């Protein structure tokens, strides 16, 4: 890759070449973002080069449908191509470490879906590889896309500006019901060897990341409980054992003397995709629900009590985060836009030769919290201290 002398992360003679690995749920969401981002944001020039997947027929179909120039079935060949500069990993968690490390060592910028890995050991290896690559101008980022919800980005600004005063405690609940039916079929997401964990890594990781990102503080202690309500599900060979959790509960202690509680479930009947966050401070409060992602509720506790009450902020003004690129005020955006914002921020960082956020170090810290929840649950809710959350980062 020939490097531009001004922006060391950009090739000087052509657009950035992008390859995505995985074409299912996340592959589709990421492909949509790559296809649309340049239509709305000023980003470095790039090309959707190749989509990678194991099934020849399905990946060929997906590549054509999602706007990729070509398809391939061997990611190892793709990461060594001279025309590929970015690897976007949308594959299941058990593949993250091997692909990411190989791509970083090959000098490719890497975007990887959350959680960073299936195990803490894998996450540590990935983070070490990312740090080594960063010294050569090779960037990496983990995809916690809800950081790019404009309402949550605005909430972070409010907190940083001191609008809530001293943050005291937070409640976060991420509830889904797609596994409520005991006859729902077995998938890779229900096997520990492929998914790492269940609701814990899949959706509680989002809640933990939001708590830390919104406050700028770090989890230092954990008490957790995991439950599996449906132990066997129908698979190709009959009933198969579910080896991950269906739901998780945890209390967290953070720096800044903040306490937080999280709950996550994939068997919460009637809840489709509700990430609800409540943040309580000495001077005000904020609430948010992903199912109303264009809205932020704000209470200003500095007003006289007779005037206090939560007020609805419709977050789609041009002055709100990310929204200058989209529609006139009052015209709401959707879930898929968070991935477009994510790709925009990733490309912008690469173009500037800067480290994007959240980093693999951030992903590793989340992985330590996930591991502590599992450890606490196995020990029947004993308190787990995270003595040094930055060691090895």
pLDDT-derived band at 380, boundaries 50, 70, 90 = confident
For the whole prediction, is pTM greater than 0.85? yes
Question: Is a pLDDT exceeding 80 seen at residue 30?
Answer: yes
Q: Do 203 and 307 have their domain in common?
A: yes
Give kind and range of the element (H or E) at residue 87.
strand 86-89
pLDDT tens-digit map of 137-174: 999 999 999 999 999 999 999 999 999 999 999 999 99
Question: Is a pLDDT exceeding 70 seen at residue 7?
Answer: no
Q: Do 194 and 324 have their domain in common?
A: yes
Is residue 267 included in any domain, yes or no? yes
Is residue 384 included in any domain, yes or no? no
Sheet holding 70-72, edge to edge: 70-72, 46-52, 16-21, 86-89, 109-113, 140-143
Q: Which of the two residues, 110 and 390, has the higher pLDDT score? A: 110
Domain count, the chain: 2
* Three-state SS at 92: coil
Check which CATH number belongs to the domain holding 78 and give it.
Answer: 3.40.50.720
User: What pLDDT score does 381 carry?
Assistant: 62
Q: Cα separation of 19 and 89, whole Å? A: 9
Q: Which residue among 108, 126, 145 closes a domain?
A: 145
* Three-state SS at 385: strand
pLDDT-derived band at 384, boundaries 50, 70, 90 = confident
pLDDT tens-digit map of 319-336: 999 999 999 999 999 999
Q: Report how far apart the first and last C-alpha atoms of the chain are (Å, whole number).
A: 27
Question: Is a pLDDT exceeding 80 seen at residue 8?
Answer: no
Across 361-368, average pLDDT: 98
Question: Is a pLDDT exceeding 70 seen at residue 312?
Answer: yes
Question: Is a pLDDT exceeding 50 seen at residue 1?
Answer: no
Looking up tokens 């995985």, which residue turns up? 22
Q: Cα separation of 2 and 48, whole Å? A: 19
Is residue 11 included in any domain, yes or no? no
pLDDT tens-digit map of 205-232: 999 999 999 999 999 999 999 999 999 9
Across 272-283, average pLDDT: 98
Q: Do 161 and 81 have their domain in common?
A: no
Q: Do 43 and 172 have their domain in common?
A: no
Q: Do 155 and 112 have their domain in common?
A: no
Q: Which residues form the domain of 277?
A: 150-292+294-333+366-378
Question: Is a pLDDT exceeding 80 seen at residue 47?
Answer: yes
Q: Do 232 and 309 have their domain in common?
A: yes
Q: Which residues touch 206 (CB under 8 Å, ≥6 apart)?
A: 114, 144, 146, 174, 275
Percent of the chain whose predicted confidence (pLDDT) is above 90: 93
Is residue 183 included in any domain, yes or no? yes
DSSP label at residue 186:
P
Q: Do 280 and 220 have their domain in common?
A: yes
Q: Do 78 and 127 have their domain in common?
A: yes
Is residue 3 included in any domain, yes or no? no
Across 47-67, average pLDDT: 98
pLDDT-derived band at 11, boundaries 50, 70, 90 = confident
Question: Is a pLDDT exceeding 80 seen at residue 3?
Answer: no
pLDDT tens-digit map of 331-354: 999 999 999 999 999 999 999 999
Give kind and range of the element (H or E) at residue 195.
helix 192-195
Q: Which residues touch 98 (CB under 8 Å, ≥6 apart)?
A: none
Across 87-111, average pLDDT: 97
Q: Do 218 and 89 have their domain in common?
A: no
pLDDT-derived band at 12, boundaries 50, 70, 90 = confident
DSSP string, 207-274: HHHHHHHHHT--EEEEEEEEE-S--EEEETTEEEE--S-SEEEEEEEETTTEEEEEEEES--TT-SSE
Check which CATH number belongs to the domain holding 299 and give it.
Answer: 3.30.360.10
Is residue 359 included in any domain, yes or no? no
pLDDT tens-digit map of 101-135: 999 999 999 999 999 999 999 999 999 999 999 99
Q: Do 188 and 308 have their domain in common?
A: yes
Q: Do 201 and 85 have their domain in common?
A: no
Q: Which residue among 145, 173, 201 closes a domain?
A: 145
Q: How many C-beta atoms lie closer than 10 Å to residue 367's C-beta?
A: 28
DSSP string, 7-74: STTSBSSSPEEEEEE--SHHHHHHHHHHHHHHHHS----EEEEEEE-S-HHHHHHHHHHHT-SEEES-
Is residue 4 included in any domain, yes or no? no
Nearest to 288 by CA among 370, 174, 176, 177: 174
Is residue 24 included in any domain, yes or no? yes
Q: Do 29 and 87 have their domain in common?
A: yes
User: What pLDDT score does 389 carry?
Assistant: 52
Question: Is a pLDDT exceeding 60 seen at residue 15?
Answer: yes
* Cis peptide, bond prior to residue 358, ω within 30 of zero: yes
DSSP string, 307-371: G---EEEE--STTSTTGGGSPSTT----TTHHHHHHHHHHHHHHHHT---SS-HHHHHHHHHHHH
Question: Is a pLDDT exceeding 60 seen at residue 374?
Answer: yes
Helices assigned H by DSSP within 68-191: 75-79, 96-105, 120-134, 150-160
* Three-state SS at 173: strand
Q: Which residues of 47-61 are buried (b: 16+ CB within 10 A; e: fewer)?
A: bbbbbbbeeeeebbe
Measured CA to CA in angstroms, residue 191 lies from 67, 188, 197, 245, 313 at distances of 32, 5, 8, 10, 41
Mean pLDDT of the chain: 95
Q: Which residue among 85, 110, 145 closes a domain?
A: 145
Q: Cα separation of 19 and 71, whole Å? A: 9
């Amino acid at each position: 890759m020939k490097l531009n002398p001004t922006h060391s992360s950009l090739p000087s003679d052509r657009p950035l070449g992008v390859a995505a690995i995985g074409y299912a749920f996340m592959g589709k969401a990421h492909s949509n973002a790559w296809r649309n981002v340049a239509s709305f944001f000023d980003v470095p020039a790039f090309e959707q080069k190749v989509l990678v997947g194991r099934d020849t027929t399905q990946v060929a179909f997906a590549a054509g449908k999602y706007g990729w120039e070509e398809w391939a079935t061997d990611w190892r060949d793709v990461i060594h191509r001279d025309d590929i500069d970015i690897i976007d990993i949308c594959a299941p968690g058990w593949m993250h470490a091997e692909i990411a490390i190989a791509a970083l060592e090959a000098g490719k910028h890497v975007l990887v879906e959350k959680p960073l890995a299936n195990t803490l050991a894998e996450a540590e290896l990935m983070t070490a590889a990312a740090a080594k690559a960063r010294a050569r101008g090779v960037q990496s980022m983990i995809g916690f896309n809800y950081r790019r919800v404009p309402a949550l980005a605005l909430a972070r600004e409010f907190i940083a500006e001191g609008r809530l005063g001293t943050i005291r405690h937070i409640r976060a609940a991420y509830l889904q019901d797609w596994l409520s039916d005991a006859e729902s079929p077995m998938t890779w997401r229900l096997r520990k060897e492929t998914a790492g964990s269940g609701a814990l890594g899949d959706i509680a990781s989002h809640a933990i990341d939001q708590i830390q990102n919104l406050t700028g503080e770090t989890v230092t202690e954990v008490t957790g409980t995991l439950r599996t309500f449906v132990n066997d599900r129908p698979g190709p060979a009959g009933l198969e054992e579910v080896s991950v959790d269906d739901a998780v509960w945890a209390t967290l202690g953070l720096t800044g003397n903040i306490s937080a509680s999280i709950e996550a479930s994939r068997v919460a009947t009637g809840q489709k995709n509700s990430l609800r966050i409540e943040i309580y401070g000495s001077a005000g409060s904020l609430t948010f629900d992903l199912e109303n992602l264009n809205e932020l509720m704000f209470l200003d506790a500095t007003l006289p009590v007779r005037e206090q009450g939560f007020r609805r902020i419709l977050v789609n003004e041009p002055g709100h985060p990310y929204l200058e690129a989209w529609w006139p005020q009052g015209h709401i955006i959707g879930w898929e836009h968070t991935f477009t914002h994510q790709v925009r921020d990733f490309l912008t960082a690469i173009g500037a030769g800067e480290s994007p956020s959240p980093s693999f170090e951030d992903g590793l810290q989340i992985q330590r919290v996930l591991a502590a929840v599992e450890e606490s649950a196995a020990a029947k809710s004993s308190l787990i201290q995270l003595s040094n959350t930055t060691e090895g980062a």
